[in-house]
Chains A and B, each alone.
Chain A
Amino acid sequence: MNKNDTLSNVLYIDLTKKKSWVNDRRELFEKYLGGTGVATQLLMEECPEGIDPLDPESPIIFAVGPLTAVFPLASKTCAMFKSPHTGDLGESHAGGRSAVAIRMAGYGAIVIKGASEIPVYLSIRDGKVFFKNAETLWGMKDSSIPARVIRQNEKGEGLRAIFRIGQAGENLVTYSSVTTETYRHFGRLGLGAVFGSKKLKGLIVSGKRMIEVNNKKEYRKLYDEIYKAATDSPVMKKYHDIGTAVNIKTLNTLKALPVKNLQMSTSESIEPLTGEEMAKNHLARRVACAHCPVACVHLAYLREPYEDDPYFFKTTPVGYDFELIYSLGTMVGIYDPTQMLKLIDKVEEVGVDAMSMGVILAWITEMVERNKISKADIEGLEIKWGDADAYIQLVDEVTHPKTDFLKACAKGVDFAAAKYGGKEFAMQFGRNEMPGYHTGPACYLGFLLGARHSHLDNAGYSVDQKELLDNTLAPEKVVDKLLDEEAIRQILSSIAVCFFARGIYDLKMVSRGLKLVGFELDDKQLHDIGKQIHLSKYQFKVREGFEFDKLNIPERIYQTEDPTGQITKEFIHNGLKYAQKLIIQ
């Protein structure tokens, strides 16, 4: 890497001692690039084996990449931690301004350890770390308010990223998230709870600096090539027009969309929730992550009348995308967009992962229907499919749990089902609640392998649709394809480019980009580094107790119709056995 690049600066913050320092970790970045690659190594170094994820010594790592603030769409920050949700690897990626802000502040990675005795937020700017008292912000009902207070009290307008947790994180809900720039999340595996356990309410980071390139002419040329591809090419169209919500209609037609806890894989009622209808009737604004011209973040305006005054409305911009429409719409039988937006807004307010929460709400609904739990377990609430108002109350109850049942639900559906039954329809894989794809066996193998970072998304749905719709493929071949794709994805998340840009950033393009910031690596070498990074992640997972044999697989996936008709126990079993051999060896 280039001599003057500040990427190799790793900022260490000790919340217990309220101290910070910087170490130059050039060797780490030169070997693993940044993002996922570097964060994995830092996690291995900093996380004591077998530690409670909520112990003060359990670290939080944020890492950005060499192309951050250099090329468009390199806008992701990789967070790594030990997950309180699964007990093994916690990896979560978010955009917003986070990556550009960290890189512009002069760091390639931030390591946070220890725990504060009082609530604090961190202000990182001008080469310093300020520990700010956040006592007044702790316990606020709406998690957007602390962000507003931090914004009003701090510098760096237009350049800063503000991370914060909500009450779910404070209450250590194991799937609570960290939100950045209001609409982007380090979601899923419980980073919010790790923040909460350290009494860390949030952080703000900003900066502005130059990154030298070693060939200015070639830099301009390559920049224009990537920028043009990002703005003109059809590969990005899906993301900036209708957004990922375009998949709702596609998957519903294919019979691949989980509806009512995957009791069904399609519904005739979902038309108002399709991306097309959402855009027509509800889309109000689109926003972008820093240094990304695509602007895939779609915001709808939720207009709610006040009951006591017909001329007052609460108007709230609410983000929506495919996963949100699936998890807080179809999965819980809500087909009215306004009702769904209300529920999304609630989930944002408490700061909890939308997919996990949707799956848990769906599972609870089925537990109620089957009389497996009592009304007292859920504080007397009447829960039924599609009732957004009841679900909104239930979100509050789960994130502020008082009954044993709700306390179990705050630890995830796998934990709750182990205690209360209903495992066969507890839709989790490796203790992480499912994303919205019931496309075929490749997808489920991908979930179970835990091959991808926290979203559980993986190349499986593409394999299902391209290879298994009309043909068949041996499970072993499917696993090979999944793992091969993951090697490439590790590179993308190490440099750290948004996965939506995978059509632009093939490994040859990555190699050209890296050359300009001083990395001489060809596509083959990059592929090997990708494999190595992937293996390191598995080493951490296995070290912390991940076992193929312990995976719970809900029976429902075999029962509900899917587009391939090939989701069988045998297929999944053989795929897993093969993967186990490959990975563990």
Chain B
Amino acid sequence: MNFFKIYWKLISYLVIHFTIEKKTDIMKLSVKDAMRCVGCQSCMFACSRRSGNAGLSNTCIGVRSTGGISRGYTVIVCRSCKNPPCASVCPTGALVPQKNGGVRLKSSKCIGCGLCKEACIIDAVFWNEEQNKPVICVQCGICADYCPYDVLELIKDEKEVSHE
């Protein structure tokens, strides 16, 4: 009987764990095709609008020209690194690496030193100037929902996905 209970618990744990991982933790934002980007900033405004307000202070996706608008755009999203350099340099442990890559910000621990921003070589640690704290992508995909030209997508990260 005991053996059956333990066996059942183990199965339940694996199923639940697997499902949660599949549905939440492993969804990753990907730049499908930056060539289709028109620079409309809809993704940036959508990201910032998660706070409920307007403007751009809270955006953690960036669109910039690739050396002038005539050459097209570069779309910068967090790659949710397996060993995030931003977390490695955080002196207060405010950036907590996640099991499946990426980091979460513990805002109360953050002292706004900006080392994380410096450490990210693709400039994917964005900065909220008003709060003097980083804005970290949680791979929610709202930016992809508001991209009118299918530049972005939120996909399951079963293998490595391409990020720009």
Contact between A287 and B69, CB atoms less than 8 A apart: yes
Cα distance, A70 to B42, chains bound together (Å)? 11
Contact between B52 and A213, CB atoms less than 8 A apart: yes
Residues of the B chain whose Cβ atoms lie less than 8 Å from the Cβ of A291: 40-42, 45
Name the one of A72, A208, A286, A317 contacting B42, with C-beta atoms under 8 angstroms: A72
Chain B binder among A168-176, A216-224, A464-472: A216-224
Residues of the A chain whose Cβ atoms lie less than 8 Å from the Cβ of B59: 208
Cα distance, A159 to B149, chains bound together (Å)? 20
Residues of the A chain whose Cβ atoms lie less than 8 Å from the Cβ of B38: 286-288, 295
Contact between A157 and B69, CB atoms less than 8 A apart: no
Name the one of B41, B54, B63, B69 contacting A181, with C-beta atoms under 8 angstroms: B69
Secondary structure at the B interface, as helix, strand, loop or mixed, is loop
In this complex, the interface size class of chain A, counting residues with CB under 8 Å from chain B, is 35 or more
Name the one of B41, B58, B65 contacting A210, with C-beta atoms under 8 angstroms: B58
Interface centre among B54, B69, B148 (most CB of A within 10 A): B54
Contact between A288 and B39, CB atoms less than 8 A apart: yes
Give the distance to chain A from B125, nearest Cβ to Cβ, in Å: 14
Beta-carbon contacts of B126-158 to A below 8 Å, as 1s and 0s? 000110000000000000001011000000000
Give the distance to chain A from B49, nearest Cβ to Cβ, in Å: 7
Name the one of B40, B45, B64, B130 contacting A288, with C-beta atoms under 8 angstroms: B40
Cα distance, A227 to B39, chains bound together (Å)? 16
Name the one of A157, A213, A292, A517 contacting B64, with C-beta atoms under 8 angstroms: A157
Residues of the A chain whose Cβ atoms lie less than 8 Å from the Cβ of B40: 288-295
- A211-233 at interface with B (beta carbon < 8 Å): 211-213, 216, 219-220, 223, 227, 231
Contact between B39 and A216, CB atoms less than 8 A apart: no
Count of interface residues, chain B, beta-carbon cutoff 8 Å: 30
Cα distance, A290 to B149, chains bound together (Å)? 15
- B81-119 at interface with A (beta carbon < 8 Å): none
Residues of the B chain whose Cβ atoms lie less than 8 Å from the Cβ of A182: 68-70
Residues of the B chain whose Cβ atoms lie less than 8 Å from the Cβ of A529: none
Q: Decide yes or no: A293 and B148 within 8 Å by CB, A157-B64, A210-B57, A213-B52 being known contacts.
A: yes
* A104 contacts the other chain (CB 8 A): yes
* 23 pairs, A vs B, C-beta closer than 8 Å: A72-B45, A100-B41, A100-B56, A104-B55, A157-B62, A158-B65, A181-B69, A182-B68, A182-B69, A183-B69, A209-B57, A209-B130, A210-B48, A210-B130, A211-B53, A211-B54, A219-B49, A219-B53, A220-B52, A285-B72, A293-B40, A295-B38, A295-B148
Residues of B bordering A, CB below 8 Å? 38-42, 45, 48-49, 51-59, 62-65, 68-70, 72, 129-130, 146, 148-149
Nearest first, the 10 closest Cβ-Cβ pairs linking A and B are A158-B64, A216-B52, A288-B40, A295-B38, A210-B57, A70-B54, A317-B70, A211-B54, A211-B55, A288-B38
